[in-house]
Amino acid sequence: MNPFASPHDLTTGQESVVFVVDDDESVRRALANLFQSVGLEVQEFGSAAELLHSKLPDVASCLVLDIRLPGLSGLDLQLELARADVHIPIIFMTGHGDIPMSVRAMKGGAIDFLTKPFRDQDMLDSVMTAIKRDRERREAEKAVTGLREHFETLTDREREVLALVAAGLMNKQIAAQIGVAEITVKIHRGRVMKKMGAKSLADLVRMAEMIGIRRR
């Protein structure tokens, strides 16, 4: 073992993990070696259940799955993850797949569907693409989550005002619409800006867009 080994991905300069799910240990080992050779961290699983029951680290990652697995198949696992709202990119491998399978996998959002035997480089390319996509998705998600947290701290009235402000109404119009004095709208509005951490109205409008606020 290399004492200088790092948990960080030397290729991308950021932490990332590849989850390998295959019932054949020799295949898992071979893939693990391949990924480790380019500085990627690897976790191995022998079945879909094993992966579903483990707690996945919160870093950019991807799944490398055999289609045929004991218990849940790779495609079943893909469906389960989607149902659980887990959007980790998936790369499928198969020795005996068919076209409908590959189409189903790709429609389900898979990054790639490789037929064995495949070239190591093809697998690496797909994994790199997958991890890059996951990193981007995580960043986007993080931004929205942060906004939503701030949004949670708003009172009902403040949310109402936010929606109308984002819709472009003037304070007096908002006041008429919700039946309060204009000064009250100003106070709510000021609180909304502070709570949301918006530095300008433009900022606030963009935030409202991101968390999908619209007037009913």
Q: Does 115 bind a copy of itself (CB under 8 A)?
A: yes
165: helix, strand or coil: helix
* Interface ranges with DNA (CB under 7 A): 155-158, 170-172, 175, 178, 180-181, 183-184, 186-190, 193, 201
Q: What is the C-alpha to C-alpha distance for residues 111 and 190, in angstroms, rounded to an integer? A: 45
Map the footprint of a copy of itself across residues 84-113, applying CB under 8 A: 94, 97-100, 102-103, 106-107, 112-113
Q: Does 205 bind a copy of itself (CB under 8 A)?
A: yes
Stretch that binds a copy of itself, among 39-47, 70-78, 154-162, 195-203 (CB under 8 A): 195-203
Helix pair 182-196, 120-152: axis angle to 10 deg: 140
Q: Residue 192 CB, nearest distance to a copy of itself (Å)?
A: 13
Pick between residue 35 and residue 113 the one whose CB is nearest to a copy of itself. 113
Q: What is the C-alpha to C-alpha distance for residues 103 and 162, in angstroms, rounded to an integer? A: 43
Per-residue string for binding with a copy of itself, 43-82, x by CB under 8 A?
A: ----------------------------------------
The entry of a copy of itself, DNA, none near residue 62 (CB within 5 to 8 angstroms by kind) is none
Phi and psi (nearest 5°) for 42? -135, 140
The entry of DNA, a copy of itself, none near residue 184 (CB within 5 to 8 angstroms by kind) is DNA
Q: Residue 167 CB, nearest distance to DNA (Å)?
A: 12
Residue among 24, 61, 60 at smallest CA distance from 45: 24
15: helix, strand or coil: strand
Burial of 130 from C-beta contacts in 10 A (0-12 / 13-18 / 19+): buried
Q: What is the C-alpha to C-alpha distance for residues 192 and 39, in angstroms, rounded to an integer? A: 45
Pick between residue 24 and residue 209 the one whose CB is nearest to a copy of itself. 209
82: helix, strand or coil: helix
Residues 170, 142: contact at Cβ < 8 Å? no
Question: What is the binding site for a copy of itself (CB under 8 A)?
Answer: 94, 97-100, 102-103, 106-107, 112-113, 115, 165-170, 199-203, 205-206, 209
